[in-house]
Amino acid sequence: MEKRSIIIYDTTLRDGSQSLGISFSLHDKLRITSELDKLKIDYIEGGWPGSNPKDDIFFKEVHKLELSHSKICAFGSTKRPKIKYEEDGLLKALVSAGVPTVTIVAKSWDFQVIEALSISLEENLELVYGTVAFLKDKGLEVFLDAEHFFDGFLANQNYAIEVLGAAQRAGADMLVLCDTNGGTMLGDVARIVKSVCETLTTPIGVHFHNDSGIAVANSILAVEVGAISVQGTMNGLGERCGNCDLTTLIPNLVLKLGYACHAADSLVHLTETSRVISEIANIAHNERAPYVGDSAFAHKGGIHVSALSKNTKTYEHIDPALVGNRRKVLISELSGKSAIEFKAKEMGIKMPSDVHLTKDILRRIKCLEDKGYQFEAAEGSFELIIRRATKEYVPFFILHGFRVITEKRENNEMVCEATIKVEVDGVVEHTAANGKGPVEALDNAVRKALVKFYPTIREIQLTDYKVRVLNEKAGTGAAVRVLIDQKGRGKHWGTVGVSENIIEASWQALIDGIEYMLLKELVDGKDGKEH
């Protein structure tokens, strides 16, 4: 019997952003949205309009993205007590967000209603019904997140069901059972979700936190007993111990249990999406993450490798290519070369038939990765490597040297100045520029030196700059990885640099970004120069 299709709802941009140490910029949120759309996630929860300026701007800017599949969802709460629905600022912000779907969080645990909201149980039911009805009247698809539902069900089953019933009567399109504290065990999840699915007619979704380490298991079990939707985050990001990890959940549902979902069609992008989001969040990617981790299909010597050479099923539960990952012991063999050829084709680069060239590129990339380079969020640098190897790249300038000076003055003012000497077509340009920091000063100086030769450089904008220490045990002498995002002429690209010297790492990434745009201009039949 064919299993039902499961709706995947991503809340990385809201719940995921509540992770300790993570703060997504507007640009980050838009990039993540595009990545999730490529993975064919059904719903992307963009944030809480009306709660902060960044989310308000996101809902204005996200309409400019050309999404192919995902629906953008806005998050909010039930109306505040003692105020009219049409006068509630947060509800008005939800409607004004201009998205087709809204998710409303509501209290479903009687303890929370009395202690946190300080209102009566009946008044809470009225708020749930009225809020859902108000938003449905605006033509919106409305999901209800029943906060603390499992704790509420165990404490007062009748009231928890009443909350869902109020939303159902008001026309809610989905009732989402939330394990907000993340403490519900498997047996209770199975019993409660099954009971709710048999009691109510509205589709049921679930939202599990990972405080007990079983958010993915609970989500799978909920689907097995009747839930049709799961909320979660990429890489399990989220407050405290995180949320249900969609990078584990989705392949388990599709590859292990035979459920359908739209993301199944794009599962080959799963590992790439996972790693890109780690880089955007500026955190180390979990090497041991199931399916998408660097070590998920890594094998050392001995009997494992011997057996794998005969049949990969001996020590692998799936083909890593299904989720876009790779078998590390075979990285220098066909799977690795295929990856290079695939990326080259994706970038519009025609690879020569020379097998040795592909192997040389692969060795170069492996060597750089060993030094700390990562190219998942730096495809500009990756493309330059390939074009250098295929002789499509020629240097746009020769660097004779640069110097960066940082001075702290008596009034605590910091002054940074960079001087640089470059040569283009035999012409030497020696110039200087200031900046608020050493990287900005260097960026300003190199642009100033090159713009007379390549005026299109004026159109390059630096949109993001991230630094991550690669070996914290080395202290201030540790190597750092610098990731830079730039945009211009309707495109954006990422580049990377690695060094024990942060200025050198920044220089690598900055120059890759500039040369990437100039090379694209050249490939497109322009050269970036004035004529």
pLDDT of residue 366: 82
The answer to whether residue 34 scores a pLDDT higher than 60 is yes
| % of the chain with per-residue pLDDT over 70 | 92
Q: How many CA atoms lie within 13 A of 85 on its CB side?
A: 15
Q: Smallest Cα–Cα separation from 272: which of 377, 370, 373, 366?
A: 377
**For the purposes of burial, counting CB atoms within 10 Å of the CB of 264, is it exposed (0-12), middle (13-18) or buried (19 or more)?**
middle
| Tokens matching residue 271 | 């590992």
pLDDT band at 331 (very low <50, low <70, confident <90, very high): very low
**183-219 b/e with 16+ CB inside 10 Å = b?**
ebeeebbbebbbebbeebebbbbbbbbbbbebbbbbb
Number of domains into which the chain is organized: 1
pLDDT of residue 332: 29
| Region of residue 65 (left: phi > 0; alpha: psi -120 to 50; beta: else) | beta
45 lies in a domain? yes
CA gap 131, 163 in Å, rounded:
12
CA gap 182, 41 in Å, rounded:
23
| % of the chain with per-residue pLDDT over 90 | 69
Q: What is the DSSP letter of 18?
A: G
pLDDT of residue 284: 80
Cα diameter, the chain: 83
256 lies in a domain? yes
pLDDT band at 529 (very low <50, low <70, confident <90, very high): low
**For the purposes of burial, counting CB atoms within 10 Å of the CB of 348, is it exposed (0-12), middle (13-18) or buried (19 or more)?**
exposed
145 lies in a domain? yes
| Region of residue 112 (left: phi > 0; alpha: psi -120 to 50; beta: else) | alpha
DSSP 266-309: GGGGHHHHHHHHHHHHTS---TT-TTTSTTTT---TTHHHHHHH
pLDDT band at 335 (very low <50, low <70, confident <90, very high): very low
pLDDT of residue 220: 98
pLDDT of residue 525: 66
202 lies in a domain? yes
Contact 168, 196 (CB under 8 A): no
Strand extents, DSSP E, 337-458? 398-408, 414-424, 427-435
| Region of residue 219 (left: phi > 0; alpha: psi -120 to 50; beta: else) | alpha
Residue with tokens 């953008």: 72
Q: How many CA atoms lie within 13 A of 356 on its CB side?
A: 0
| Tokens matching residue 194 | 């099954």
Quick one: CA dihedral 149, 152, 153, 157, positive or negative?
Answer: negative
Backbone angles phi, psi at 172, to 5 degrees: -55, 140
What average pLDDT does the structure give for the chain? 90
CA gap 260, 253 in Å, rounded:
8
pLDDT band at 29 (very low <50, low <70, confident <90, very high): very high
Q: Smallest Cα–Cα separation from 145: which of 295, 24, 14?
A: 14
Contact 62, 46 (CB under 8 A): yes
Q: How many CA atoms lie within 13 A of 439 on its CB side?
A: 20
pLDDT of residue 94: 96
Looking at residue 223, which CATH number applies to its domain?
3.20.20.70
39 lies in a domain? yes
User: How far, CA to CA in Å, does 103 sit from each of 90, 106, 410, 476, 495?
Assistant: 12, 10, 53, 45, 36
pLDDT in tens, 94-146: 999 999 999 999 999 999 999 989 999 999 999 999 999 999 999 999 999 99
pLDDT in tens, 207-233: 999 999 999 999 999 999 999 999 999
Sequence-separated (6 or more) residues with CB below 8 Å from residue 470:
372, 478, 479, 480, 481, 498
pLDDT in tens, 463-522: 889 998 887 677 777 899 999 989 887 788 999 999 999 999 999 999 999 999 999 888
pLDDT of residue 125: 97
The answer to whether residue 327 scores a pLDDT higher than 50 is yes
Determine the distance from the C-alpha atom of residue 282 to the mean position of all C-alpha atoms in its chain, rounded to a whole number.
Answer: 11
CA gap 169, 154 in Å, rounded:
23
pLDDT in tens, 75-84: 999 999 889 9
DSSP 111-180: HHIIIII-S-HHHHHHHHHHHHHHHHHTT-EEEEEEETHHHHHHH-HHHHHHHHHHHHHTT-SEEEEEET
The answer to whether residue 336 scores a pLDDT higher than 70 is no
Show the domain range for 239. 7-281
Task: Name the residue type at position 453.
Answer: F
Contact 327, 317 (CB under 8 A): no
Q: Smallest Cα–Cα separation from 41: which of 69, 1, 3?
A: 69
503 lies in a domain? no
pLDDT of residue 334: 35
What average pLDDT score do residues 193-217 get? 98
pLDDT of residue 317: 87
pLDDT of residue 363: 84
Q: Which long-range contacts (CB under 8 A, 24 or more apart) does 426-434 make?
A: 427/453, 428/400, 429/453
More confident residue, 307 or 374: 374
pLDDT in tens, 399-458: 999 999 999 888 888 889 999 999 999 999 999 999 989 999 999 999 999 999 999 999
pLDDT band at 531 (very low <50, low <70, confident <90, very high): very low
491 lies in a domain? no
Ranked by mean pLDDT, the top range of 2-11, 71-80, 301-310, 410-419 is 71-80
**For the purposes of burial, counting CB atoms within 10 Å of the CB of 371, is it exposed (0-12), middle (13-18) or buried (19 or more)?**
exposed
The answer to whether residue 301 scores a pLDDT higher than 50 is no
Contact 4, 254 (CB under 8 A): no
397 lies in a domain? no
Contact 421, 446 (CB under 8 A): no
What average pLDDT score do residues 314-319 get? 82
The answer to whether residue 163 scores a pLDDT higher than 50 is yes
What average pLDDT score do residues 269-285 get? 91
